[in-house]
Amino acid sequence: MRLAKYLAHAGVASRRKAEDLVAAGRVRVGGRIVKDPAFDVDERSGVEVDGRPVNPEPREVWIVHKPVGVVSTAREPGRRRAVTELVDSKHRLYPVGRLDVETTGLILLTNDGDLANRLTHPRYEVPRTYRARLRRQPANEDLAALRKGVELEDGVTAPARVRRVSPRVIELTIHEGRNRQVRRMAEAIGNEVVELRRIAFGSLTLGELAEGQARRLRAAEVRRLWKDAGLG
């Protein structure tokens, strides 16, 4: 693993700050100063920062039921609450993808950058399922258009799985993860999302987790996420 990445994964600093620490000569590997942030290391390399040993922190993955008004960032410089504040962990966690501030539901937090990358990279096509309440009842032709793919300003969407739950409520499963994609897809069929909740990410479902609550995933659940992302 690259030295800067190792420091970031160990919770020492962000990737950029870790590179600054390395450039400043504050990092030793096996007793000698290393100034190359790409230097290859692992937990047996004897990494130290300012003379203190650095060991990788244990990997954690949390599921959070994000409420309206909470932002999907690690920190919020303004007055709005950040989703990381809903998790009781001493480790540096980051959201896996984002939900816009008005969208509720399932979001994952983790300090495992490799897992986060695979879950969000379009190549691995990890599905996300949303329940959307629309302004007007969509016609069957509208749902058929969503299933086929609709034209957005950044290109045609991939085919989606769509299920009508009630006259104005649909469940939509996509895997692209474009910015505000579900809301823009509704606009493309001449409608509007008035309430949006993500209810599943890969094999993981929101279940009975209450809004504003979080829990750490069990090992079996994490293994299923890795399988969702293409690794058994």
Let me know how many helices (H) and strands (E) the chain has, helices first.
Answer: 6, 15
Q: Would you list the DSSP string of 127-189?
A: -EEEEEEESSPPPHHHHHHHHH--EETTEEPPP-EEEEEETTEEEEEES---TTHHHHHHHHT
Active site residue 100: yes
Measured CA to CA in angstroms, residue 204 lies from 62, 108, 110, 111, 118 at distances of 11, 10, 15, 18, 15
Find the catalytic residue in 40, 100, 114, 142: 100
Distance of CA 154 to the CA centre of its chain: 21
Residues labelled as active-site residues: 100
